[in-house]
Amino acid sequence: MPYNKVPFQTQAPVLSWANHDLGSNEIKMAKNVASLPFVFKHVALMPDVHLGKGALVGSVVATKDAIIPAAVGVDIGCGMCAVQTPFTATQLEGKLKKIRQDIEAEIPTGFNQNKTVDKSVTNWQDWRSFKDLHKGVQDLETKAMRQMGSLGGGNHFIEVCLDTKDQVWLMLHSGSRNIGNKLAQCHINTAKQLAKLADNALPDPDLAYFVKGTPEFAAYWRDLQWAQHYARTNRDVMMERFRRIVEKHLVGGKPTKPLLQVNCHHNYAEQEVHFGEEVYVTRKGAVRARQQDYGIIPGSMGAKSFIVKGKGVADSYCSCSHGAGRLMSRTKAKKAFTLDDLVKQTAGVECRKDPGVLDEIPGAYKPIDEVMANQSDLVEVVATLKQVVCVKG
C-alpha cells in the first residue's frame, strides 16, 4: 500500500506504511524523533511499527551529520539469516524431533555460550581490533569469543521451514550478543552525559546523539561497524553448524550446496545516499530493500515467514519491515494466553510448548499477512515459508 502522511506538525514529516492509527505513546515517540533538527527529509514507519526505546521499532530515520545510539538500540546488528537447501519435505519425515534436539545441544541459547571457541571464530580477522573497542568492554573478549555462534534469548530463534513447493529452508534470527549490548550501553551513556553537559533540550533523554567530527561520534561509529560485523558473522557461524546438523540427518553428513543464502541486519545504521545526499540511515526494526536486495521477514513461531526482494522505494529509504511486530508486550501476553493456547497456535511445529516461551505465542504478534499486504509496494515475495521445527532462545 502507499504510505500515509501522519497528521501532525514536526520539523520533518512522518510517513507511515502501517494501516492502523498510532497510539498516543507511539505518536509521542514519532514526534520526538521527527522534531530533531538533524533529521533528514522525513521519518519512515514500516507496517510492523510499535513502541521502542527512544525511537519506534519499525522506523527508518535518516540524519545529517549526527547519529542517535539509542535509536540503533542495544542489540546492534540483530538480523536474519536464511538458506534454501536442496532438500525436500519427504526427507524430513520422522526426523524433526532429533533435528531439534541436536540444534539445542550444539547451538547455545539464552545466556549460554560455547565451552570452547570455534575455529571459524578464531580465524575471524576482525578480532585483531578488539583492543581498539570502548574501554568498557575490554574485559569481555573471552566471553565474546565464546558467544560467537550462540543464539541468545527473547525473540531469537532457529527454524527448519518448508516453502510452498515443499523445499526445505533453514532460518535463524540473532544479533551481537552481550558484547553488542555492552558497547551500545557504553555509548548511549556517553551521549546522555554529553547532552547534560551541553544542556541540550531533548524531548527524550534516549535521543541523545553524537555529532559528526567529534571523537565520540568516531568512537561510536567504529564500534557500531565492528558489532554489526560480529552479528553477521555470528549468524554465519550458527548457520554453518545448523546446516551440518540437517545434513547429518538427511544425507548422512554429506556436504551440500545452498540454492540461495540471505543474511541481513534489521537493527543497524549505515552511511547511504538518498535523494542525492549522503546521510546516516538508522533502521530500527527494518530491513534494507533496495532494488533486487534480498530480505527476510519472519512472522512468529506459528506463522508464515517470507523471503523477499526489494523494490527500492525512495520514500521508505529503500526499506521494509523486519517482521510481524509485537501486538502486545511480553507481560501482557503471559496474562492473556494459556499453555493450551500455545499448543493450539503452534500445532504441527516441533518446538517447546512450556511457560518459558508463552510470551512468544503467535497471538502476541500482528498478523503477518496484513503486514505483508501493507508493504506490497516495498517488496516482492520470493518464497513463503512455514516452520516445522522452531528452537527459541
* 271 Cα distance to chain centroid: 18
Report pLDDT digits (tens) over 298-352: 998 989 999 999 999 999 999 999 999 888 889 999 999 999 999 999 999 999 9
Question: DSSP H helical segments within 126-176, as ranges?
Answer: 141-147
Return the closest-CA partner of residue 58 out of 291, 256, 251, 326: 326
Q: Residue 8 to residues 1, 35, 238, 256: CA-CA distances in angstroms?
A: 21, 11, 44, 54
The grid coordinates listed for 266 are: 534489521
Q: Report the alpha-carbon distance of residue 343 to residue 357 in Å, rounded.
A: 11
The grid coordinates listed for 282 are: 538508522
Which pLDDT value is given to residue 125?
Answer: 56
Domain ranges of the chain: 4-327+365-392
Confidence bin at 4 (pLDDT 50/70/90): confident
Which pLDDT value is given to residue 328?
Answer: 87
* 166 Cα distance to chain centroid: 26
Which pLDDT value is given to residue 51?
Answer: 92
Q: What is the mean pLDDT of the chain?
A: 94
Report DSSP state, residue 21: P
Confidence bin at 375 (pLDDT 50/70/90): very high
Q: Please state the rounded mean pLDDT for residues 123-143.
A: 81
Q: Does residue 19 have a pLDDT over 70?
A: yes
* Contact yes or no for 390/360 (Cβ under 8 A): no
The rounded radius of gyration (Å) of the Cα atoms in the chain is 21
Residues contacting 75, CB < 8 A, separation 6+: 152, 175, 176, 180, 181, 184, 231, 267
Question: Please, what is the Cα angle at 313 between 47 and 159, to 5 degrees?
Answer: 50
Sign of the dihedral defined by the CA atoms of residues 203, 204, 205, 208, in that order:
negative
Return the closest-CA partner of residue 301 out of 346, 340, 336, 367: 346
4-327+365-392 maps to which CATH number? 3.90.1860.10
Least confident of 52-61, 74-83, 113-122, 202-211: 113-122
Q: Active-site residues: which are they? A: 322
* Contact yes or no for 83/261 (Cβ under 8 A): yes
Cross-strand bridge partners of residue 5 = 15
* Contact yes or no for 296/80 (Cβ under 8 A): yes
Q: Does residue 151 have a pLDDT over 80?
A: yes
Which pLDDT value is given to residue 126?
Answer: 60
Q: Please state the rounded mean pLDDT for residues 118-147.
A: 80
Which pLDDT value is given to residue 154?
Answer: 87
Torsion angle of the four alpha carbons 68, 71, 75, 79, in this order, in degrees rounded to the nearest 10: -120
Which pLDDT value is given to residue 21?
Answer: 82
Which pLDDT value is given to residue 123?
Answer: 58
pTM (two decimals):
0.94
Q: Residue 185 to residues 37, 66, 279, 294, 366: CA-CA distances in angstroms?
A: 24, 18, 24, 30, 29
Q: Does residue 23 have a pLDDT over 70?
A: yes
Q: Report the alpha-carbon distance of residue 101 to residue 87 in Å, rounded.
A: 20
Q: Please state the rounded mean pLDDT for residues 218-226.
A: 97
Q: Report the alpha-carbon distance of residue 267 to residue 228 in Å, rounded.
A: 9
Question: DSSP H helical segments within 133-214, as ranges?
Answer: 141-147, 177-198
* Contact yes or no for 364/330 (Cβ under 8 A): yes
Q: Residue 71 to residues 61, 132, 137, 283: CA-CA distances in angstroms?
A: 9, 23, 21, 8
Which pLDDT value is given to residue 2?
Answer: 80
Question: Please, what is the Cα angle at 308 between 303 and 311, to 5 degrees?
Answer: 140
